[in-house]
A and B are shown apart, each in its own frame.
Chain A
Amino acid sequence: MKRITIDPITRLEGHGRIEIFLDDAGAVQNCYFQIPELRGFEKFCEGRPAEEVPQIVSRICGV
């Protein structure tokens, strides 16, 4: 089985990787999309004053 790795995915915000597995005939057997990055805004925004949150979450994506 042949494996093609596309790493990183480019020209978008964030991190991504694609793993493609080909069978012996060269047909796609299976394909996995992976997101290797996590920052955890869901958690670290907890405890921050509500009026501060817009400036914090604008850093989820700056694009």
Chain B
Amino acid sequence: MSKLKLASYWAAACGGCDVAILDINEKIVDVANVADIVFWPIAVDFKYSDVEAYADGYIDVCLFHGAIRNSEGEHIAKLLRQKSKVMVAFGSCAVAGGIPGLANFKRREDIFERVYIESNSTQNPERVFPQTKFAVPEGELELPEFYKDVKCLADVVDVDYFMPGCPPTADQIWAVVQVIASGALPPKGAFVGCSNKTMCDECKRVKTEKKVKKFYRPYEIMIDSEKCLLEQGLTCMGPVTRAGCGNQCTSANLPCRGCYGPVDGVIDQGAKYISALASIVDADTPEEADRIISQIVDPAGTFYRYGLPGSLLRRAK
């Protein structure tokens, strides 16, 4: 069997997905045995021009990380889609927007103002902002257009598989690589490297009746490391989050923030969580329920922490 041709790219990402791939440690040698890397900016020196020169479909599998923040991200996504047989949205940013997707709570003008004018380390009295085209004495320079909204990979290209997680765990990555190498591909559109159970299904914390009278911020209470965090009044998103990470945050006494996204069939993780909360708030009157819910700080930014662009809301007005 000829070796698989593998590409990996980051658009608006942090590089954590790339490092997660490297975290499979010595198994990376096994990957090298079954696959040739033909594009992977963090690790190997291929240029966009190399990818442009490949025949269509030359790349067997492209692991695409990062959200689509600007025209370059969209352009490279389309280029890699054309050159790849299988396109995987890899990591929460590519799947649903991820942390960079929090920018959809803000307006583009306000982001520019903050970054290029107001930031403490910036002096920009002439109010210079990035230009898509800029004339210099030697010629013209170009920068990508910063879009109004952050998008998911599937908003700009056809995606074959989705692998959620911020980042996906090394074990799951290895399992998926093995499946791909075996050729036994799952049905198109499948979520891979994760489960279709919820985080709560796999959580070892002691669960009793979920009834919450008061929501707390983590520093306001001594967290019991055995008991369900939600039952202690912390906004753990376990009930609406796909399992697969091995309960990393809850094992460290931190509430889950939902990075694996919702399980199959749920379109809007945040809305689902609001309805989950409604059923556990222990209130006798609607006013009391309002009072309890209003104790949650930054509900939108918490319930849509990793998935605003991929949600029904997509952005704040």
Q: Which residues of B contact A59 (CB under 8 A)?
A: 14, 16, 98-100, 166
Q: Counting CB contacts under 8 A, is B246 at the interface?
A: no
Given known contacts A1-B138, A36-B143, A40-B114, is B48 in contact with A62 (CB within 8 Å)? no
Name B138's closest neighbour in chain A (CB-CB). Answer: A21
The answer to whether B15 touches A7, judged by C-beta atoms less than 8 angstroms apart, is no
CB contacts (< 8 Å) of B41 on chain A: these are 8, 10-11
B298 at the interface (CB under 8 A from A): yes
Determine whether A47 belongs to the interface, using a CB cutoff of 8 Å to chain B: yes
- Nearest CB of chain A from residue B64's CB, rounded to whole Å: 14
B146: Cβ under 8 A from any A Cβ: yes
Contacts from B to A (Cβ < 8 Å): 10, 12-19, 41-49, 69-70, 72, 98-100, 102-103, 105-106, 110-111, 114-115, 119, 130, 136-139, 141, 143-144, 146, 166-167, 217-219, 254, 257, 297-298, 301-302, 305
Cα(A8)–Cα(B44), bound, Å:
11
Give the size range of A's interface with the partner.
35 or more
Verify if A52 is at the interface (C-beta below 8 Å from B).
yes
Q: A14-B15, A43-B114 are in contact. Are A30 and B138 (CB under 8 A)?
A: yes
In the complex, chain A residues 42-56 whose Cβ is within 8 Å of any chain B Cβ? 42-49, 51-52, 55-56
Across the A-B interface, the 10 shortest Cβ-Cβ residue pairs? A62-B16, A62-B14, A21-B138, A40-B111, A13-B15, A59-B99, A63-B15, A44-B102, A43-B114, A43-B111
Q: How many A-B contacts if CB must be within 8 Å?
A: 130
Provide 11 A-B residue pairs closer than 8 Å at the C-beta atoms, listed in order of the A residue. A10-B45, A11-B44, A21-B138, A40-B114, A43-B111, A43-B115, A51-B217, A59-B166, A62-B167, A63-B15, A63-B16
B residues less than 8 Å from A19 (CB atoms): 141
Task: For the complex, give the distance between the alpha carbons of A12 and B40 in Å.
Answer: 11
Q: Collect the chain A residues with CB atoms within 8 Å of residue B146's CB.
A: 38
Contacts A8-B41, A10-B45, A42-B114 known; list 11 others, CB within 8 Å. A7-B49, A10-B44, A15-B10, A36-B70, A36-B144, A37-B70, A52-B305, A56-B102, A59-B166, A62-B17, A62-B18
What's the least CB distance linking B301 to chain A, in Å? 5
> How many Å lie between the Cα of A37 and that of B151 in the bound state?
14
A11 CB → nearest B CB, Å: 7
Complex Cα distance A60/B16, Å?
9
Given A10-B45, A13-B42, A30-B137, are A49 and B297 neighbors across the interface (CB < 8 Å)?
yes
Asked if residues A48 and B298 are in contact (CB atoms below 8 Å), the reply is: yes
Given the known inter-chain contacts A21-B138, A63-B15, A63-B42, please indicate yes or no for A34 contacting B114, CB distance below 8 A: no
